[in-house]
Chain A
Amino acid sequence: MTNKYKQLAEENLDYLFRFAYFRLGDRDDAEDAVQETFVRFFGKADKVKPEKARMYLFRTLYNLCNSWQGRVRHLSLEVVGNRAADDDSELREEYLRIERLLCRLPYSQQEVIRMHTVDSLSFVEIAEILEQPVTTLKSRYQSGMEKLRKLIKD
């Protein structure tokens, strides 16, 4: 691997793993998705502008997670919570805790909130991934947060 790609991978690997984990809820699935993302990236790296590479990785991973959710998410939260390996039990608890909060919201609001709070992405970065105007995303974020605040108070 050339130095610039090595650096890109090193700088973003944990962020990408967290992004995938808090969507798929399983280390193996999340790591497979991240690996697949890099496989696709390296296949097209010549065509991706260096300044766009990071968002390309997130966007590819987002698409992969969405297509993998069908394979993974048919397990209920309880089943995911009871999976055997215990090495990640604390992380899995965190996933379940956050998922239980977010699952009450419409999917479009969940995604923006998850990306901004869990993944620490800016609204401009989220707009690049979801291909939506920043104003729309901010409005979804605000509606979702208001709804969560009401749910938490009740």
Chain B
Amino acid sequence: MNDYKDIEALLTPRVEAKASANLRSRISAMNHKPRRRWWPLGLVASMAVAAMVCGLIFAPAAQARVSVRQLIEDAITLLGENFTIKMEVRTTPQENFAHFDPSLAPIPVTMTVCGSEWRIDKGGLVACGNDTLRYEWIPSSRRGLCSAEGMNMIEGFRFLINPKAMLESEGTQDETVIEQEKGRIILTAKHENETRRYTFDAKTHRLTDYRVTISGVDVVRTTSITTGTAQSCMVLPEGIIWQNIDFVTGIGQGQAPEAVATLILSSLQTWDNADLLAKAFVYYDQESLRNLYLGSRLITTGRPVTKPNRPTHIFIPYTLQFSDGHQSTATLCLTQADDGGWVVDGGI
């Protein structure tokens, strides 16, 4: 590996980070509670317990209790490293992969994993990749994005393509509930903004379904999970011009995001400032955008806000009047590019 001592020195904290005395006392006051053992109960009690356990195991209607850990381990093993998951997701076919919205109608999404390779197809937007290479393209356009540095193009979907990590993370949640009914085991894990519900076959522990619920609405719901069927994930379409986005330059370095949003949106009307728009819409198919937005007049922009689940993005509400006279209100999403400028990353 190259010598990075100079940069490593820059990244090494120059101030000692020490836990406070208060935390030390809080930790030392904690009690580790070992599992209770009832040795003094003696042989008679042990035999009684053994008989009871045998009764439970061999009773026809008995259902063996299973630990969350065991259930998850079995499900991961059975899922293997080659599977296809079909699901319905409340998003739009061409919006980026971070976009989930309980108010939208569900669309079909197919996710395939073949070892370290994966592919997600939303119909209007497809992405595939492995540990380092990533591709994303709109099938109806001839332009696509690529990264050779493992850039996260699929945002929220990155958890869905890695059920192993997702399932394992559930084992650490406090609010994990497990219940059995009609040959199924259902594991429900409550997270800060969402609830994830996994259904397993009670006999084999195979994962048969999972869904993610936000505000009481299923935003992700599987329709089928099949294993061992995926052929290849990294098949790329022909005739696409790939743009590398490992180092992206934006616009308006040092400017407030609302000023940049106003500049971008007001440039749509004439499209005279094509260079600026090309940089701002680096993640988009410019030709399609031009066809759609040329002649649109910016009516207003609102106050920028941030969202807890996307801390690196700024959201600016806006209203545009299209060339046919109708008005549309949406929320532009800006994010900082590698050079400190801004680029659009959603909401258009």
Interface residues of A (CB under 8 A from B): 1-2, 5-6, 9, 13-14, 16-18, 21-22, 27, 31, 34-35, 38-40, 42, 45-47, 60, 63, 67, 69-71, 73-74, 76, 90-91, 93-94, 98, 101-104, 106-109, 113-114, 116-118, 131-133, 136, 138-152
Q: Is the interface of A mostly helix, strand, loop or mixed?
A: helix
In the bound complex, residues from chain B placing their C-beta under 8 Å from that of A113 are 11
CB of A145 within 8 A of CB of B338, answer: no
**Are the CB atoms of B19 and A67 closer together than 8 Å?**
no
The 8 A-B pairs of least Cβ separation, nearest first, read: A73-B311, A18-B17, A117-B11, A17-B19, A70-B308, A74-B308, A145-B4, A42-B32
Residues of A within 8 A of B246 (CB): 147
**Cross-chain contact A14 with B18 (CB below 8 angstroms):** yes
Q: CA A39 – CA B172 in complex, angstroms?
A: 11
Knowing A1-B32, A14-B18, A35-B23, the reply to whether A118 touches B11 (Cβ < 8 A) is yes
Supposing A17-B18, A31-B19, A148-B7 touch, asked if A143 and B309 sit within 8 A by C-beta, the answer is no
Given contacts A31-B20, A31-B23, A139 and B7 within 8 Å (CB-CB):
no
Provide the bound-state CA to CA distance between A91 and B338, in Å.
26
Are the CB atoms of B17 and A40 closer together than 8 Å? no
Given contacts A14-B19, A74-B307, A106-B150, contact A149 B7 (CB under 8 A): yes
Q: Which residues of A contact B22 (CB under 8 A)?
A: 31
Flag if B247 contacts A147 (CB, 8 Å).
yes
B28 interface hit (Cβ, 8 Å): yes
Main secondary structure of the interface of B (DSSP, over half): loop
B131 within 8 Å of A by Cβ?
yes
Residues of the A chain whose Cβ atoms lie less than 8 Å from the Cβ of B291: none
The answer to whether A117 touches B12 (Cβ under 8 A) is yes
B191/A67 in contact, CB under 8 A: yes
Q: How far, in angstroms, from A52 to B247 measured CA to CA in the complex?
A: 39
Known: A9-B28, A70-B193, A91-B15. A60 touches B1 (CB 8 A): no
Chain A positions within 8 Å of B179 at CB level: none
Q: Is the CB of A6 within 8 A of B28?
A: yes
Return B215 CB to nearest CB of chain A, in Å. 16
Give 1 or 0 for each of B116-135: 1 = CB within 8 Å of chain A CB: 00000000000000011000
Cα separation A21 to B309 with both chains bound (whole Å): 19
Complex interface: chain A residues within 8 A of B7 (CB): 145, 148-149, 152
Inter-chain contact A38/B172, CB cutoff 8 Å: no
Contacts A67-B191, A71-B192 aside, 5 further interface pairs with beta carbons under 8 A come to A5-B32, A45-B32, A102-B11, A131-B168, A139-B131
- A sample of 21 cross-chain residue pairs with beta-carbon separation below 8 angstroms, ordered by A number, consists of A1-B28, A1-B32, A5-B32, A6-B28, A9-B28, A14-B17, A18-B17, A22-B17, A42-B32, A67-B191, A70-B308, A73-B308, A74-B308, A102-B11, A104-B338, A118-B12, A136-B132, A140-B149, A145-B2, A150-B247, A152-B7
Q: Which residue of B lies closest to A141 (CB)?
A: B1
CA distance A35 to B154 in the complex (A): 33
Question: What sequence of 0s and 1s flags, for each residue 249-275 of chain B, a beta carbon within 8 Å of any chain A beta carbon?
Answer: 000000000000000000000000000
Q: Across the interface, do B11 and A143 meet the contact criterion of CB distance under 8 Å?
A: no
Let me know if B182 is at the binding interface, CB within 8 A. Answer: no
Which of B1, B23, B150, B169 is the one whose CB lies under 8 Å from A109? B150
A38-B27 in contact (CB<8A): yes
- CB under 8 Å from chain A, chain B span 4-43: 4, 6-8, 10-15, 17-20, 22-24, 26-28, 30-35
